[in-house]
A and B are shown apart, each in its own frame.
Chain A
Amino acid sequence: MFKSFLTIIQHEIRVTMRQAFSWITPLLFFVIVVSLFPLAIGPDETLLRKIAPGIIWVAALLAILISIGNLFRTDAEEGYLDLLLLSPHSLTLLVCSKIFSYWFTHCLPLILVSPLLGLLLNLTSHEELTLIITLLLGTPVLCLLGAVGAGLVVGIRGHGLLLPVLIMPLYVPILIFGTGAMMAASLHQPLNGYFAIMGAFLLVSLAFAPLLTGVALRIGVNQ
């Protein structure tokens, strides 16, 4: 069972790496959105430093939201998804491995680049560290919730903006706590509570989201 989990992860990562644009595009999107803000607001250093957590978090959220709609689309078109549904292994586990490899290829680059962007927005090293930890805890939750939405819209042709409308409200709590931790870090307040509640979000969504994604995929494919 664990072997199939690893096989799928290996396969997914290899496929994504072969089509480099599929993971580079969200990364570019993320960097460009963040760099738009100083241009739009003006190069006021104190103001930029104040709103930097919000900018980085919203940009990461949008990058995930826009790219995750395609999580199951090519699989569904090529019939790979039908094979996954037919396989004797637990669908929840297979979905888990897909989400993990998505996170690995699409979110990890964002997290690796974010300290650099933080530097451009004048964050201190303490804030940079907090940013990385909140993104490490928060982006898996965004991916897990997004996967449920991607599973729901898999059968709909040209779903366009439906997925963001559906999933965005669910992203709000994690956005609030992610940026809240950053605000607390800039005031040198204790951060453990923020990390604990984000970890709780991660565990709850890890428990339920793959299961619900499986249910959604079965509904969508039978359509």
Chain B
Amino acid sequence: MFHWIQKRFLAPKAFYRSSGYFLPWISLLFILCFSYGLISGLFIAPADYQQGDGFRIMYVHVPSAFTSMAIYLVMASCAVVTLVWRVKIAAICMSCSAPIGAWFTFLALITGSIWGKPMWGTWWIWDARLTSVLILLFLYLGFIALQSVMADQQTRDRTGAVIAIVGVINLPIIHYSVIWWNTLHQGPSISQFAKPAIATPMLNPLLAMIAAFILFYVVILFLRVRNQILLRKML
């Protein structure tokens, strides 16, 4: 079973072919989600009764924060696969994810600051959630720094995998920071089990934007991985 999966999907050649096949469809889906989310989020959803139109930055802020954490989770899973099964494509996915994740984290911090200035009255506050997201950015940058000094490809992949696994401890801290510490940053509005604390006309565009950001990540990841496969002459 595992061997079949490996041969069919995970071998660089097979991945190159199948990703080429899926890319246009994923891009199309991304464009659909993104345009629906953007249009209905920015123009159709009703204004917030407290924040007015200012809340609309949520449609960029929440998806980028969500995606930045999801990307780290993908990286850590790829790291485990790299260390345990030594699947080459997982190592490539891991190192290609890092810059994308770093940019999303940066975007989440910047949009958060812009949102914070009118609503909280300050660009930055040393609150648990903000600090832990900043640490996430440092983790991404440390990973990229480590990768950039290694000469040998295999060593580079495997050392990166170790540090990615160690850093995963930060993810639950980010997620629960707003619950454990009562801070300025609000608690989560969307939960898997409870009824969301946000009105449906506001929620739907948000979910669409989250899907769009994830799809965007997948598109960029596939493009970068295909590039790496060509660069490493694995085809």
Task: Report which A residues bind B (CB closer than 8 A).
Answer: 145, 148-149, 151-152, 155-156, 159, 162, 165-170, 172-173, 176, 204, 208-209, 212, 215-216, 219-220, 222-223
Please count the residue pairs between chain A and chain B whose beta carbons lie under 8 angstroms apart in the complex. 66
CB contact under 8 A between A152 and B149, given known A170-B169, A172-B131? no
Q: Is the interface of B mostly helix, strand, loop or mixed?
A: helix
Of the four ranges (under 10, 10 to 19, 20 to 34, 35 or more), the interface on chain B belongs to 20 to 34
Contact in complex: A216, B141 (CB < 8 Å): no
* Partner of A172 from B135, B145, B150 at Cβ < 8 Å: B135
Closest chain B residue to A169, Cβ basis: B138
Q: Is the CB of B142 within 8 A of A169?
A: yes
Which residue of chain B has its CB nearest to the CB of A212?
A: B162
Taking a contact as CB atoms under 8 Å apart, the answer to whether A152 and B152 are in contact is no
The answer to whether B162 and A168 touch across the interface, beta carbons within 8 angstroms, is: no
By beta carbon, the residue of chain B nearest A156 is: B149
Q: Is A219 touching B158 in the complex (CB atoms < 8 A)? A: yes
B29 contacts the other chain (CB 8 A) = no
| A162 x B145 contact (CB < 8 A) | yes
Interface residues of B in 107-138 (CB under 8 A from A): 131-132, 135, 138
A212→B164 CA distance, assembly (Å): 11
Query: Are B159's CB and A220's CB within 8 A?
Result: yes
Q: Is the CB of B145 within 8 A of A215?
A: no
Q: Is the CB of A166 within 8 A of B146?
A: yes
A91 CB to closest chain B CB (Å) equals 14
Q: CA of A155 to CA of B150 in the docked complex: distance in angstroms? A: 9
Question: B159, A169: Cβ atoms under 8 Å?
Answer: no
A155 touches B155 (CB 8 A): yes
A165 adjacent to B166 (CB under 8 Å): no
> Do B159 and A219 touch (CB < 8 A)?
yes
A152-B162, A156-B150 known; A169 and B169 CB under 8 Å?
Answer: no
| B179 part of interface (Cβ distance < 8 Å) | no
B146 touches A212 (CB 8 A): no
- List, in ascending order, chain B residues with CB within 8 A of A159's CB: 149
Q: Known contacts being A159-B149, A169-B138, is A216 close to B159, with CB within 8 Å?
A: yes
